[in-house]
């Protein structure tokens, strides 16, 4: 499903003093929807990593299968951002305002951080779809038997000093952003970054030529 929408609210510049920051990558390289559909050369991103980043399955489910441990969530931010675009991917225009931003770490039950995620929601929908805000989004929506479609729109490769400190791993990092659809309507925009720690399970991020 291709993301098409007609934004109804006015884009406004975020106020960094009012809204805490979120961890966007400073890009070295980025690809859009066509790149996501086509895939990348294996010398740029290895097949196992492409399955994780470009596949439309649940990342929390994938992480659980890789590590053999439940995937747990540490919620680090729930901020009302009004009609701000919050420096989020342009897809945020598909989510009606006022909006709320949620930030989490995805980690193993034993405490190893595996991924970071920021998501943007219509404020009025949060209590309905995130009834338990301390569990992964996919688990929360699955409990409601919500029919969902993960529409991956972009892939990112870049740096973040904050994520280096949080993961305990050197960058650059791979990330992606996507739109969740529910009942043929956009529900939330999610931006995810994965830790290089996952090379333990997935192997190197790229293959030799």
Our count of domains for the chain comes to 1
- Whether 49 is in a domain gets the answer yes
What pLDDT sits at residue 144? 45
Residue range(s) defining the domain that contains residue 179:
43-202
Distance CA 89, CA 153 (A): 9
pLDDT tens-digit map of 109-137: 999 999 999 999 988 777 666 655 555 55
Task: Look up the pTM and report it.
Answer: 0.84
- Burial, 62: exposed, middle or buried (Cβ in 10 Å; 0-12, 13-18, 19+)? buried
Please state the separation of Cα 104 from the chain's center in Å: 10
Q: How far is CA 188 from CA 26, 35, 185, 206, in A?
A: 22, 22, 10, 30
Residues of the chain with pLDDT under 70: 1-20, 127-148
**pLDDT the model gives residue 136:** 53
pLDDT at 36: 94
Share of the chain above pLDDT 70, in %: 79
Looking at the domain assignment, is residue 156 inside a domain?
yes
Q: Residue 145 falls within a domain, yes or no?
A: yes
Q: Is 8 among the domain residues?
A: no
Contact partners, residue 124, CB within 8 Å, separation at least 6: none
Q: What is the pLDDT of residue 142?
A: 53
Phi then psi dihedrals of residue 6, to 5 deg: -120, 100
Q: What is the CATH number of the domain that holds 142?
A: 3.40.1410.10
CB-based contacts of 172, cutoff 8 Å, min separation 6: 25, 28, 157, 158, 159
Backbone angles phi, psi at 197, to 5 degrees: -55, -25
In a domain, 1, yes or no: no
């Amino acid at each position: 499903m291709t993301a098409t929408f007609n934004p109804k609210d006015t884009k406004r510049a975020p106020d960094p003093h009012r809204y805490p920051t979120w961890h966007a990558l400073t890009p070295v390289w980025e690809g859009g929807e066509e790149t996501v559909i086509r895939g990348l050369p294996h010398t740029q991103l290895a097949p196992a990593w492409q399955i994780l980043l470009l596949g439309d399955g649940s990342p929390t489910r994938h992480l659980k299968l890789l590590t053999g441990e439940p995937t747990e969530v540490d919620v680090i931010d729930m901020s009302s951002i009004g009609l701000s675009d919050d420096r989020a991917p342009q897809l945020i225009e598909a989510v009606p305002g006022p909006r709320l931003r949620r930030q989490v770490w995805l980690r193993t039950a034993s405490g190893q951080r595996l991924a970071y995620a920021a998501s943007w929601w219509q404020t009025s929908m949060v209590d309905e779809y995130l009834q338990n805000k301390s569990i992964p989004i996919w688990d929360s929506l699955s409990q409601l038997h919500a029919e969902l479609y993960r529409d991956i729109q972009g892939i990112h490769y870049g740096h973040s000093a904050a994520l280096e400190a949080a993961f305990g791993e050197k960058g650059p990092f791979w990330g992606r952003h996507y739109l969740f659809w529910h009942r043929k309507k956009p529900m939330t925009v999610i931006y995810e970054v994965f830790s290089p720690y996952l090379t333990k399970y997935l192997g190197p991020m790229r293959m030799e030529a």
